[in-house]
Structure formats: C-alpha cells, structure tokens
Chain A
Amino acid sequence: MIGSTGGAAIFKREALVHARRPRTYVFQTVFLAGLVLILVPLWPASGGGGAGFAAIAKDIFEYGSKFELILLALVAPVLTASAITSEKDKHTLDLLILTDAGPFAIVFGKLLARVASLAFLLFLSLPVLFALLTLGGIDARSIGVAFTILLASAFLGGSIGVFFSTILRKTTLAILAGCALFAAYLAAPAVLQSFGMFVSRAGAGTYAPTTAYVSPWYDLVYLFEPSHFVSRESFPERWWINPVLSVMAGSVLAVISGALLVHARGIDKALGLKPIFDTIDRGLAAIGGQSAKKRMDAERSGPRGNPIYWKETAVNTLGRLRHWWRVNLLIALCMVGSYAVVSRLPSTSGPGNLLSDIMFHKVVGGILAGLTVLTATAMAATSVAKEREDRTLFVLATTPVDCSIYVTGKVQGILRNLSFLLLLPLIHVTLFVATGTITWTSLIFVILGVPVCAISAIVQGTFVSLVCQTTLKSIMAAIMLLTVESMLPVCTCLHTFNPVLLLYYGIESPEGQGLATSLASGNLGSILFLSCVFSLLAHVGLTSVVYSLMRSGFDRYIGRAG
C-alpha cells in the first residue's frame, strides 16, 4: 500500500515536472507539424477516384505508422534513460530509496509517467490518422491495432531506457545502449529476413510468421500486407501477440530494474567502461609484447601537437582503446568470419550465394555508413556538453584555446576514435571489388562519401553540443537534426544526401546501370552520378557553414566573454 502510494507520488511529480517544461509542448507541436507536413503533400488533391484515394490513404497510414515506430525507437529510450541516472547525478537516489516508496514503486512511477507522455504524443497523432478514414482503404480497427502495437512498443522502449538508466552511471551511455538495443530489436528480424536468413513464406493458414510475434516492425508489415505472409488476404488474427509480448518483456525489465535499484551504484561501477577498456588494453598489450607496452607508454607522454586531439584520443574513455589498429584487425577477422556464414546462404535475386548478390553489398554498405554517421553524431553531440556538465569546459575557457584548435582537435580525435568504423565499408567494398562483385567506381563513394559524411556529422554534432546546455538536450537535438537530414532525400532532389542512400546507390555491380555505366559510356550527365557528387559537395558546404557559425560564436558557446 505504502509502495503504491509512493509510486503514485513519484508518478505525479514526474508528470508535473514534464507538464511544466515548455519544451514538452514545443516537442509536441513540432511532432504534429512534422506529421502534417509529411501528410499534406501526399494528400490526394483530385483524380484517381475512390480506389486511388484508398491506396494513397493506406500508404500514408502504413508509412506514417512505421515512421512513428522509428521515432519511438529513438525517443523512448532517450526520454527514459535519464530517469535513474539523473537521480544518481543529483545524489537524490539514496534519498528516494530511503523513503517508504520502495524500489519497484520508484521504477514504475518514473517509467509510467514517461511512457504516459509518449502515449500522449501517439494520441495526438490519432486525429490526423482518423482523417484518413475519409479516403477509404483503411478502417478504424486497423488504426486501433497499429496504435496498440505502437503503445506497447513505447512501453518496451521506455523499460529498456529505465533498465540501462539503472545499471549505468551516465545518461549518455544509457541512451546509446537503449537506442542500440531497441533498434536491434526492431531491425534484427528485418535485416535477417532481407538477407534470406529468416524465411517467412506465405502459408496455408492465417497465422503470422514468428517475425511478427517478436518484432513490432513485422507486426505492422503483417497488419498492412497480410498476403505477404499468408495465402489469403484477411485481417491478421494474431496481431496481439507482439504487443502482449512487448508489455510482458517491458514489465520484466522494469521489475529487474526495481530489484537492481538498491545496488545501482555498485552495478554501474562494476559495469563501468573503464575497467572493460583497461582489460582490453591489457590483453592487447600482452599480445603485442614489450614493444607495444613501450609504445603505449610513449603515447601517454603528453600532447605533442593539438592538445585537444591528444585528450580525445589518449585519455578519454574511447581513446583508451589505444591499440585501435589491432581492434580493426579483430573487426576485420569478425567480418571475414561473418562472410563464411553468409556465403552459405542463397542469393535472393539469382543463382549463387548471398555474397555474389549486389543487394547484399548495397544494404551492408548503407548500414555501415549509417552506423558510422550515427556514432559520429552521438560522440560529437556528447563531447562538449559532457565537458560543460562536468564543469571542465569552464576551466578550459580560462585558457587561450581558440575555436580552430578546439574544433580541429575534436574532429580529428573523434575521427581517430571512429577509424575502425570508417574503415569497415572500405575494407568490405575493396574485398568485393577484388572478387569482381562490386565495380571499382564504388570505391570513390566509399573513400569520399563515408569520411565526408562523418566529418559533416562530427562538425554538426559539435556545434549542437556547443549550443545545448546538457548532454541529453544535445543528443536529442543532434538526433533530430540527423533525422531531418536523412529525410531530405524524400522531399528534395538530393536522393543521395543521406549517407545510407549514398552508399546504397554508390555501390553497384559491374553490370549496373548507374555510375559505372555512366563513366564507361562517357555519359557524365547521369542523374545518379551528379546526385552523388552534388550530395558530397552539399555536405562540404554544410560543414563549412556550420563551422563558420561555430567560429563566430565560439567564445559565447564555451562560456567566456570573448
């Protein structure tokens, strides 16, 4: 009884604090405006008749729901990842635990309050979706099913965020871990299926495949295209399994979080990255022998060039992976191992195995480019904001450090820390250029495209981090900016501005119709080629603009008079 009263008090406090923040309403307005902006151009003005309108309505509903699910994957863990870490930072967690509320009431109070705000966001989109009913093609029942799937996913996403918030010390780490796990949960079945590793063929009955049970993404696909899974067109009967499983999994995670809450400090120390990286370092140094140890000591002898670069690479957490080239080697070995697995799978588009399928390489290239840019953005977005929160930026501001040294050091440092990720697409494409699966011209886009997009992401992330006061705000703003940019191909002619699409289109087989053919035939006017080149130039231009903005307000951003 006491626990439930305490839980209600925590829920009320969280809900009140959330309601008092102006940014809550700004975010809701932006979300709705974004939804309307996407819908308005797609809304059928005239013509096409009833069947045409119905098809359009179904498409809008389908893509709108999937868009909301992707947004949830980003927002739900971000919104909940600070639930416990912020209490740890403010040293108020012990005070909460000492009350009669109890750990489970604390966890559920915080979780439900934050999930409620997400649910409210989903409710806000309902009128927009119900407007589609007037066009036909969908019914209220489908909207209700999609809404339930999204709501259950929000609960699971929130629980994942709270779980990582309990076991980790830093909000940033909790956000990254939460987003990664939720994204893996959403994407894993889809990626496996697209590689043919998870086969779901149309069956005789109306039962959905297991992918729809474990992934909300596939449950939505099942809802919109049941014929993809079953032999006849019918309303999916077992759509409810995924939401039920999501709520159950979320509840289990929340209960585990509650059970771990009283030991939160001990766990986050035990799970801290420092000991893990130290262990990796020691292990790699042992492999490298005495010469490696000497090199390692030499690297710790202090800055020789840009001190900010030295700090980023030699002493911060990621920089502790000083044997980065060996890490690259390990990753390359993992890649070769994964090729051995993939080579046993059949191609989805023709004879031979999956390794000879150009679609496989396009998807892998796109995923690696997206992962690199996302990681670069997250690292850059936390870099300055974290210094501000730790009050080390304040000390730095009293030194003569200027914008060029600071930003150059940050960009170089993050690039170096990310080098293993930057090399992955290059290694992959080079390997398959050598085997003749991918044309050599694809290398141009890998060599130019990935670093250019990564540098652009780092500069933008650093700028956002300079402007935003907290890590949480910075990460949210950077991810929103990245989301807007990744949507650019949808509403502009820059189909390859998005780094994922840049590599997707840039990587092609020797028989391809795109860049290789254009170059071979001397037809440099190819839209694809121009689009790729223009996208790269647009990234360079955008980076220059952002850097000049940073330069002009640098003193103000780091908190000095100038």
Chain B
Amino acid sequence: MIETRYLTKVYRDLTALDKLSLTVDKGDIYGFIGPNGAGKTTTMKILATLLRPTSGQAYVCGFSVNGQAKHIRRKIGYVPDFFGVYEDMTVTEYLEFFASLYGINGKDRQRVISDVLDLTDLRYKEKAQVDSLSRGMQQRLGLARVLLHDPEVLLLDEPASGLDPRARVEIRELLKELRSMGKTILISSHILSELAELCNKVAIIERGQLIFSGPVEDILRRVRRAGIVQIKLREGNDRALPIISEHSMVAKVQTIDGGIIEVELKPEAPDYTFLPALLVEKGFKILVVREEQVNLEDAFMKITKGQVA
C-alpha cells in the first residue's frame, strides 16, 4: 500500500531523510517513531504529496509521488500534527466544504457527513463553530474530514499531540474503529504505549535513517536482554539474595524498584526453572517469576541511543 525506496530529502545543508526504504502492507497499522527532527513529518508530507523528495521513490496505492500526485490525493487522508480550522464555519459546514472539494454532492454528501459525524462522535457538535471546539474535538474533526472520501490510506501525524488524557483515549478508540474497518494507517506519535497497543508494525527512524522496521513483537524481542529473570517474593528479599547468588548458574543478582529481585543467569543456564524450585525449597513464598519486562518505550530509548546493534 505504501512503499518508499531510498527516499531522500535534503534541505540545503540538512539531510532530513537519508535513503529511507520501508513497506506498509494493506491493513497495517504502522507506527512511525523517532525523536523530534528525525524525519517523520517530512516522510508524511512526501507521502501526502506536499513535498517533493530530493531523490528516491515513494508509492502510495501504486501511484508514484513523482508525477501521480493527483491520484494519490484521492486515495489518502492526511491529518497534520497541527492544522487550522476556518472561522465562522459550523462543524457541518466544514465537512460539507471538504466533501464538495472531493466532488461529493447532493444526498451522498449528507449521508457521508452523517456517517463520519457518528463515527467520530461529533454529532452533538454539528452546529458548533469549528473554531470554538477544543483541541481534542478539532483533532476528531480532522479525522472526520479525512474520512469523507473514504480513503484507503490514512496518514496521521501526531494525532494525539497536545491532547488531555480523555481526548487521547477517545482518539485511540476511534483509531481502533478505523483499524477494524480495514484502513491502512501510518501513524506517528510520541505516546509509545498507545502505539504498542494500536500498531502491528513499527518503524523507528533517527536523523532521517531507518533504524528498525517490523512487527512490534520483533522489536521487543530484540531489545529484551536474554537470561534476565525477575522474581517478586512475599517477604525475605534479604535472605533470598545470598541463596540465589550462591547458585552456580547465576551470574549476578540485585534488588530493583518495587522490591523485585533481578537475576542475571550465566550463558550456560538452560532455563530459569531451577530458581522457583530453589526458593520454594528454602521456604519462600513466590508472587511473580517472569522474564524481563520490556515495552516499546524502553525499546525506543535503547534503539535510539544506539544500545542495540
């Protein structure tokens, strides 16, 4: 659905994108992660036909951004990170205006607007002035706008940026709804926990270069350290530490936040099943035994700091 090949964008002395190649398949919810200035918005703008790449190719729905921009505009819906709304327009008028720009008129327009108002839960605001809406509602209105022409691909640049927790939850629920409708979505966000919940694939870019691209599970597996086990006991951490450390398969043991004992196994250890057996034998009551917990935020921090090869 989306493919970039050696996509490069240079602004005078700054290389915003450096030979970026990635593929987004139909139905993917693709998370786009990177620090500020990494090149996420530049990529989105190129895909939305707002910027011309310096070199390389990008295809959306099989159309090239170089020369087939008109076709792409009818296939995509782009919500920028910050966008303005017209003054003196009601929500319905705003949607009517954009629907007519896409050539949707007459009864079709009324039906489509009614559908997107329901989908984005803006029905009760249909007569409100768009410039009086809260930021969260304006974002929902932005999503309603891009759904008018039923695009195959949605490009969402920081849709939850600057929103309060309730508005963020509402946007997340809306995106889940769109996912269930089979839309292909490329979404950038700084709220990585939400991306992990929404996306089936992620790409991490830094300084215009692709560092990782693939399923969310893959990146978590890649970042997770092998042989790290976390144990939570009901009591007796002080007594347990020397017992664990004396075991021949244990390299290192320490207590981390929340009274959790973190055990680093030696490379030759076949698994960690001996640890609960040992502790039960010594009379300890175990609440939790698990492999190290890693989330997308940890993965992002480690990868962008170059901690993972």
Contacts and interface: CB of A to CB of B under 8 A. Distances in A.
Contact of A310 (B97, B109, B142): B97
Interface residues of B, number: 36
B101 A399 contact: yes
A561 B84 contact: no
Contacts, number: 88
Interface in A510-562: 555, 559-562
A395 B97 CA distance: 12
A203 to B, nearest CB: 55
Interface string A302-338: 1110010011001111001000000000000000000
A390 B89 CA distance: 14
A394 B69 CA distance: 15
A561 B52 contact: yes
A300 interface: yes
Interface stretch (B74-82, B159-167, B215-223, B284-292): B74-82
B89 A315 contact: yes
Contact of A401 (B49, B65, B88, B101): B101
A289 interface: no
A398 interface: yes
A91 interface: no
Majority-rule SS of A interface residues:
loop
B98 interface: yes
Interface residues of A, number: 29
A561 B65 contact: yes
A317 B86 CA distance: 11
A562 B142 CA distance: 23
14 contacts: A304-B105, A307-B97, A307-B100, A310-B100, A390-B86, A391-B82, A391-B83, A394-B50, A395-B84, A395-B142, A396-B101, A560-B50, A561-B46, A561-B65
B178 interface: no
B83 A394 contact: yes
Contacts of B89: 311, 315
B74 A302 contact: no
A400 interface: yes
B85 interface: yes
Interface in B27-56: 46, 48-52
Contacts of A343: none
A317 B87 CA distance: 8
B274 interface: no
Nearest to B73: A400
A559 B83 CA distance: 14
A392 interface: yes
A295 interface: no
A307 B52 contact: no
Given A395-B80, A561-B49, A561-B50, A315 B86 contact: yes
B88 A274 contact: yes
B117 to A, nearest CB: 14
